[in-house]
Every structure is written in structure tokens, then in C-alpha cells.
Structure 1
Amino acid sequence: MVLTTKDCDYLVIGGGSGGLASARRASKLYGAKTIIVEAKRLGGTCVNVGCVPKKVTWHAASIRETLKDAKNYGFSLEETKSFDWQSFVAKRSALVKRLNTIHEEHLKEDEVEYLHGVASFKDSQTVEVTLEGSLTRVLVKAKHILIAVGGRPSIPGDVEGSELGITSDGFFELERQPRKVAIVGAGYIAVELAGMFNALGTETHMFIRHDRFLRTFDPMIQEQLMAEYQRHGIVVHKQSSQAKVEDIGSGWKRLHYKDQDGEAADDFDCILWAIGRTTELGRLSLDVTNVKLDGKSRIKTDKYQNTNIEHIKAIGDGCDRGFELTPVAIAAGRRLADRLFGGDAQIDAHLEYDSIPSVVFSHPEIGSIGLTEPAARKQYGDSNIKVYNTKFNSLYYSVFDDREDAVPCSYKLICAGQDQKVVGLHIIGPGSSEMLQGFGVAIKMGATKADFDRCVAIHPTNAEELVTLK
């Protein structure tokens, strides 16, 4: 074994998007001597098995839906074969590989040293890195240490044979398209993957513990998405639990479960667990640092991403801020680098965790920012809340032969106080993801209903409905 030592200003443990953003900013803008450690591939969940490959798959599913719609606009299309899953997966994998290379090149350009290996604390100020594919171990001491290791999908520990299923990571490793899939979970990953599978022609079943998806979203969103998924043929098993999975041969598995209709069993060629994520903190030997964790084994932080140990910081899924979103980790990492190395002008730099826009790439898309209606009523009181709703069909569907094929849009604006400050905006329907970014800026700036009303509508668009609400 070869042992070397290094010193630096900033050690970032975790090469996901948040860690990369913080490391590059510290080195490029402020000249901090920076080292980043990553055990897997650069880019973390987002680039490799998350946002990027997921959105590309969502595009494929959306194109399939558009092909079905084309006849309503006078096109006569005949598919000569079904969706070429293998060809698409090869292109998607090539994209991910290219992005990994780009991230590594950016680190070199910004003079960030990259250690490809596994990190663990020896004490609160020293980290040992076991380099991948070698006998070399590196001891690193740093003035500031950022923990940005993210998380991994969970597998149920109380279901016999659960190892026969896959997680969202395994979704991107599927070499062929499943004919019949069981997705267990009701969060945004379950909802997104179910929509993609269904649109691409896989018989899709969802198993959820309660009666609705996306329990942290506004009730309007929950109700309409449930209606749309069932209308488009997704089989939803409500109030369900799983008892056992068994291998029945030829790639098929039998899932034994209980739902609102009682106990049953069904056969699937793919079972996918989408029941939440577990942090990657376990391998870091955090106990030697005395860093405090919360009740969910996440690192406790303040608004500046500080832990209880002065020189150790944390961002992303591994900390207790409550937003497991890649852009949140990126923004928090950049603000942290500004505060640590930007001098007096940046001494108060930190991410504000209120009014963070989020999108679910379901079918149809969902956009949400701010408080749900129940949360707003609880915070401000019923008498101080004014809610504006609209439900309509986009002009896109106006020439459809069968109006039943139209995907309705539902929008909700939640306003508080005498000035009717917009404290929540929730939209579901085509185009919601792109639409939300601009409205997110307005709401972050404190826009009121009067500000929305003063904005001239862009006609004909779906978005104009939000500035013409009555």
C-alpha cells in the first residue's frame, strides 16, 4: 500500500452536480486550492441515472404520444415497427458517457484536483481516500470540508424476494422494454417512470400505500393526475402492500400483494421499487467527526449549510434541508463557495429555501411552487386566503376528432393577505415545466395577483390563463 498526503483549502466529498458546482466555483472564481472525491461517475444521480437520462426518456415517450395525435392534424402515419428500445438506450448511454467526460474536462480547466476513489474520515479534519483500481491511499487535510455525497434508491427490507426487483438506477440498465411492469411507490420517481412506460406501450401497474400520488403536492394536482393515469390505462392498486416476490422463470416474477380489493398475486417481467432514497453517508465513518444527525440519519445544518463542526459543511440529499432536487444542491453549493472564499462581500451568501419551483415530468407535466392550499390556509387562516382556479383544454386539442382524447389543464393560484401576494402556484397540463420557470421568478420576487393581472396575456397560449384568472 502506498500512502500519500495532501493539503487543500476546500475538500468536496461527492462528485454529483452540487459538489461539482461548489468545487469549480471555489477554484475558478476565488483561486481556492480544491480537491473533489467521487467513488462512482462524475455528475452523480442527475447525470448518470436521474434528471438527464430520465428527461431524454420522457422526450421519447412524448414523441410516441405526438405520433398518436398526428392523425388529428391530417397526417397519415404508419409505424413499421414498435419503439426500438435497444437503439434508444444505446444513444442515451452515449449521452451520459459524453457528459461524464465533459465534467472531468471542466474540473481540469478550473484546476480542481479529482480523486476517483472512496472517502472516509480518519478524524474531523482528515479524510482518507482509497483510490479506485490502485493500492494508493491519500490522506487529505483541508481548511473546509463539504459533504455532498447524495443518496441511493431504497429497496424494501420487509418484502421476501425484494432483490428480484430493480430501482430507478436499474431502470436505466434495462436492455429490453418490459412487457408488463409493477411500480411500487407514489412519489415523483414512481409517477414519472410509470408515465414513460405506459406511453411507450408497456402494461403498467402502480402500487401505492394510500389513495393518491404525490402526497406533498396540492390536492388538485393529486386528483387530476390520478384521473389522467387511470384514464390512460395505468392500473393503480390503492392501499397496497407487498408480501413476497418469487422468480417464476423466463425473466418473469410473481408479486404477492394486498390492495383495496384484498389479497392477490400477479406476474410481471419487471418489478421496480420507487419507495424513497437512502443517504450515502454510511461509508464516511462520520462517527469520528461528532457531526450531528437528525432522526432520519441526515446531517443537521443551519441556513448557511454549517454543521455543528465549524469547518464541515453539507449540501444535497445528505443534509436536512428537505429538498432532494439537483438544482437545489447546485445553488446551495455555489452560495457556500461564495461565502467561504468570496470575502466580506459574500459573507451572508446562502440559499433561501422558500418558494423553490419543482416539476414532475409525468404525463401530463406538473409544475409547483410555494404553498399548497391546505398549507396556506393553515399558515394564514381561511379568511386571509383567496384561491383562483381554472380548468380548460388547450387549443392543441381543438381539432381532435374525439375531444375525449384531450388532456385537460388545471391551474391554481393561491393568494394571501389584503395585497393578495401569490404564495402558491400549481399547474398540471402540457408545457407546465417550461412555463413554471418564468412564473417562479415572479413569485420569488413577491408578485401579487395585481401584478399578474397587469401582465398582458400572450395569446393563444396555455400560460395566458394564469394572468387572466378571475
Structure 2
Amino acid sequence: MSQFDVTIIGSGPGGYVSAIRCAQLGFKTAIIEKYATLGGTCLNVGCIPSKAMLASSHHYEELQHFADHGIEVSGDVKINLEKMIERKQAVVDQTCSGVKFLMDKNKITVFEGVGSFEDATHIKISKKDGSSEVIESKNTIIATGSKPSNLPFIQIDKERVITSTEALKLPEIPKHLVIIGGGVIGIELGQVYLRLGAQVSVVEYMDRIIPGMDSSLSKELTKVLKKQGMKFYTSHKVKEVARSGNNVTVKADDAKGKELVLEGDYCLVAVGRRPYTDGLHADKAGVKISERGLVEVNDHLQTNVSNIYAIGDVIRGAMLAHKAEEEGVLVAEYLAGQKPHIDYNLIPGVVYTWPEVAAVGKTEEQLKEAGVVYKAGNFPFKALGRARAGGDTDGFVKILADAKTDEVLGIHMIGARCADLIAEAVTAMEFRASAEDISRMSHAHPTFAEAVKEAALAATDNRALHV
């Protein structure tokens, strides 16, 4: 029987990063993955393929505006969806192969099969050919991730009524894509197909899209996407989804009980994700799982069974790849006797539409609810020379700071390159910077990053320079 110091069940960003850090720290490490490729949801059917599709569709959209830059393209511009999806898959394959390389480089043993507990120290690996083996592990990290959620009355057939997985490999561009759910997944995939020529309608239960982010970001993104042609039906509760041939009918009621009926040829169900522990047999190891399906952990991400830990989507908190990575590193270092920490308030959130949306820290709604006295500074991208030069003038940066101490409490932005700009915000807040601290740092000109400096100036006695 093979024996290991640490075994990770699941090879997503949390799992494989944790395995690498464990190996770096000298642990004999194994990782178990049920699929033939490593990388989990993020690399195979989530973050990476969706960003590849967003990039391809963005290039097509930009091509429509080349004439504004004095670039004349003759002839018809055509979309080859099959080729686009082939490129997406090539990106996925290359990325997953990279993870396999890292496993080999760090001498991590990889098992392909479903990992399930026999007890707290023994894990059974059930393989596709029907065979199985049992390994012994001193410590185990559960990193089994999440799966798309659904509403109980919706029958997902993976053909016309689909999840995000199927949306990444459609055989055609939809004529009318109806999306249930205005969160990150629905909005990103909606923009992909909107750019390619589909009519896109979003039905959202809450009163705004991306409801977990600051309301000002939601308002601006809604405005921009409406201008691009996306339609929104917020404050609507879906009650029925029916397929007839190649047509799908979605019925929903608004807050006053008025019925909405949408007819489309595809319906994307994007109502969130649920923790995935199917087949794990956590009960055999004595691991507690909550009524919501989450593995219960303490501040060290340790379950009620002392040698078993859990990270990522399968535990409390935001379902984000980079959160899972940080947690994977934390457990590895904790097992090595170090004292790592994670400030969950400083885990950034990003929506990879264009304009991009990014945020870290507290929203205005959260500060108001907590009774915190704060000040806000805003700066619009349209006032930036770099934004005007590139034609990306939608959006703004908003900085929220404590009214007494000037410490930055939250930074919220929507605009070009915000997915990258948010790192500056995280760095500043990690070192407990004040708005004035940021305002006094030199930012290269002309750059999009100048918007962060200007927003900080606006939050510091309202002294932005370029508005």
C-alpha cells in the first residue's frame, strides 16, 4: 500500500497549487483527480476557456470599430465558431499540460480516479476500468470544488437548456440566448454570444446584475451592456422553462406578479454553483458537512477530523480560483509548522466582461449597514488620456476611505484593464494604505492606472486634478 504525508483530492487551482507547496516543503505528496486532465473546473470548463472565448469575441467586436482608427478592412468579416472553440480547447489543453508538467517537476504522484474515504487515513481510488486501490495518507486535503447549480423545476438537457459547460462548446451561435442568472458566469458568457450576433436576454431574481458587488458597478455595467444590446429583466422570479424542439420558453414573474415570457433557441442556466462532495464518502472519515453541502472547517481550514482539511469552493466563502490557491498554500504551510494567514476581506473579485469589473474590500452598502462613516472618491475613465487614445472611456474607479483615519476600506472599478489594476488596490490595502498614500505615489502617464491615483485624490479633500 502506497503511503503519503499529504494527499489532495481534486486538482483544481486550489488542489494543484496546494500539492506544489506541500512538495516544496518536503512532504511526500499525492493528488487524486477523477478526470483524465488536471486543472479542475477552472482550467477545463471555467476560468480559462471562458476567458479564451471572451478574448476571441472581443477581437471580433474590436474589428467592427477599426475604421474609427483609420484602418479599413475590405471584404466580409466572418465568424468561424468551430475554429474559435478549437482555439479555446487548444488553450485549455496547453494549460492543463502545464499543470501535469508541474506535478512531474515537483515529484507529485498523480492518481486518476474517484477518491473516497475508507476512514480518516485511508483513501480508495476507483478507476474508470473498474479497478481500485487504497492508499494511506497521514493528512488529506479535500479540494473537490463545485458544480453548476440548478432550479428544481428546470430539466437541463445539455442541448438547448444548458449550463456554462455546454455554453463553451455550442454547435452554433444562438439566435436568442436566454440567460437565467445575472451573476458573473451569466454576464460573461452572455457578452461572448452578444458580440457574435446573438440576441441575449438576462433574467435575474435580484434587483440588479452582479448583485454581490457594489451597486455602482452594477449600474454602470448594466448601462454599458444595454448600450451594446443586451436586455435585462431584473427582479424576476423564473417559474417555468420548457423546451419544444429547438425552441425554449422561459416564464417568470416580476415583483408585482406580472408574467414575462421569453422565447429563445437556447437557455443558459447560470444560477450559481454548489459545493461538490458526491462520492467522497466523507462520513466514513467522520468529516462534518453542513446542510448547504459545505465541508465545515476552522480558521486553519481544518475539519472536525484533525488530519483532514478542506479548501476552495467546497468550504465557506467566495467561489474563486485565487481564494482556493491561497487556501491551498495556507494548509501546506500550516502542516509544516508555519503561521500563514489569509485576509478574506482582501480577496479581489473580477468580472471579465469589457469593460472589466473588479473590486476589493467593503462596498458602500456594507459600510452603510455597519454604520461606518466613510468618504468616497470617484474618477471617470473618460477623463484619462490613455482611455481616450484607445477608445475605452467607459467606467470609473471609486475609492472608499474611513472618514477619520483615511484608511482605504474598499476600491471598486469598472473599465479597461481593471482585472489587472485591482492588484494595486489589494497591495495598498494589504499595507493599510490611506487614500492620501495612494494619491502621493507616482503613476506613469498615460496609463489606465492613473484613474486609481485620481480617485484617491478625489477621496482626499476632493482634489482630483483632471476633472
* Same fold per superposition (TM over 0.5): yes
The equivalent residue for 1:36 is 31
Could you say which residue in structure 2 is the equivalent of 1:438?
424
Q: How does 1:61-210 map to 2 (within 5 A)?
A: 61-78=57-74, 80-132=76-128, 134-159=129-154, 164-210=160-206
Alpha-carbon contact 1:184-1:208 (below 8 Å) kept: yes
Distance (Å, rounded) in 1 between the aligned partners of 2:142 and 2:292: 17
Cα shift at 1:331: 1.6
Secondary structure, aligned partner of 1:362: coil
Measured in 1, the distance between the counterparts of 2:157 and 2:261 equals 15
Match of 2:376 in 1: 387
Q: Which amino acid counterpart does residue 72 of structure 1 have in structure 2?
A: D
Unaligned runs of 5+ in 2: 463-467
| C-alpha spacing 1:395/1:298, structure 2 compared with 1 (3 Å) | same
Shift of 1:190: 1.1
The letter of the residue matching 2:136 is K
Q: Displacement, 1:173?
A: 2.4
Structure 1 residues 424-433 or 232-241, which shifts more? 232-241
Q: 1:264 offset after TM fit, Å?
A: 4.1
> In the alignment, residue 388 of structure 1 is paired with which amino acid?
G
Task: Quote the Cα distance in structure 1 between the aligned partners of 2:254 and 2:354.
Answer: 24
Tell me what 2:9 maps to. Answer: 13
Q: Distance in 1 between matches of 2:154 and 2:416?
A: 37
8 A Cα contact 1:125 1:142, kept in partner: yes
Q: Distance in 2 between matches of 1:172 and 1:457?
A: 38
1:236 to partner: Cα distance:
0.9
Pair 1:448-2:434 in alignment: yes
Number of the residue aligned with 1:377 = 368
Q: CA-to-partner distance for each residue in 1:348-401, whole Å, 9 max, x for gaps? A: 12333221122111231101010001212333523xx1111233415467489x
Specify which of 342, 354, 364 is matched with residue 351 of structure 1.
Answer: 342
Could you tell me how far 1:248 is from its partner in structure 2? 2.7
Counterpart-to-counterpart distance in 1, 2:157 and 2:254: 18
Identify the range of structure 1 (407-416 vs 36-45) with the bigger mean alpha-carbon deviation. Answer: 407-416
Partner Cα distance (1:112, 1:175) in 2: 38
Q: 1:412 maps to what in 2?
A: 398
Match of residue 329 from structure 2: 334
Residue 211 of structure 1: how far off its partner (Å): 2.1
Hey, what's the Cα distance between the residues in 1 that align with 2:405 and 2:293? 41
Match of 2:2, SS state, is strand
Query: Aligned match of 1:275 in 271, 287, 312?
Result: 271
Pairwise mapping of residues 203-218 of structure 1 onto structure 2 (< 5 A)? 203-218=199-214
State how far apart, in whole Å, the 2-side matches of 1:79 and 1:365 are. Answer: 31
Q: Distance in 1 between matches of 2:75 and 2:321?
A: 37
Cα distance in structure 2, aligned partners of 1:31 and 1:399: 51
Cα deviation 1:38-81 (Å, max 9, x = unaligned)? 10231001110111111111112221232222222212224524
Deviates more, 1:263-272 or 1:443-452: 263-272
Q: 1:360 to 1:129 in 2, by over 3 A?
A: same
Contact map agreement 2:16 2:39 (CA 8 A) in 1: yes
What is the rounded CA distance, in whole Å, between the counterparts of 2:380 and 2:87 in structure 1? 38
Check 1:440–1:161 CA distance in 2 against 1; reply closer, same or farther (3 A cut). Answer: closer
Q: Which residue of 2 aligns with 1:297?
A: 293
Offset of residue 15 of structure 1: 1.0
In the TM superposition, what whole-angstrom CA distance separates every residue of 1:242-294 from its partner, at most 9, and x where no partner exists? 33333332x33233333468324333221101001121113211122222233
Q: What is the match of residue 252 of structure 1?
A: 247
Provide the rounded CA distance (Å) in 2 between the counterparts of 1:392 and 1:67.
Answer: 22
Q: Distance in 1 between matches of 2:75 and 2:174?
A: 20
Alignment of 1:315-330 (within 5 A): 315-320=311-316, 322-330=317-325
Tell me the distance in 1 between the aligned counterparts of 2:164 and 2:104.
Answer: 31
Which runs of no fewer than 5 residues in structure 1 stay unpaired?
A: none
Normalising by structure 2, report the TM-score: 0.91
The letter of the residue matching 1:273 is V
- The one-letter code of the counterpart of 1:84 is N
Amino acid at match of 1:419: T
State the alpha-carbon separation in 2 of the partners of residues 93 and 355 from structure 1: 32
Aligned partners of 1:409, 1:117: CA distance in 2, in Å?
46
CA contact (8 A) 1:73 1:399 kept: no
Deviates more, 1:215-224 or 1:408-417: 408-417
Q: Is the 8 A contact 1:8 1:143 kept in 2?
A: yes
Retained in 2: the 8 A contact 1:119–1:129?
Answer: yes
State the alpha-carbon separation in 1 of the partners of residues 223 and 5 from structure 2: 53
Aligned with 2:358 (options 329, 349, 367): 367
Paired residues of 1:159 and 1:242 also in contact (CA < 8 A): no
% same residue: 26
Amino acid at match of 2:379: T
CA shift in 2, pair 1:160/1:436, >3 Å: closer
How far apart are the structure 2 equivalents of 1:50 and 1:372?
A: 26
Between the aligned partners of 1:290 and 1:397, the Cα distance in structure 2 is 56
Question: CA 1:264 to 1:413, structure 2 compared with 1: closer, same or farther past 3 Å?
Answer: closer
- The aligned counterpart of 2:227 is 231
Shift of 1:419: 2.5
Q: How many residues align?
A: 452
Report the equivalent of 1:45: 41
CA RMSD in angstroms, aligned pairs only: 2.1
Q: State whether residues 156 and 162 of structure 1, in contact with CA within 8 Å, keep that contact through their aligned partners in structure 2.
A: no
Shift of 1:306: 0.9
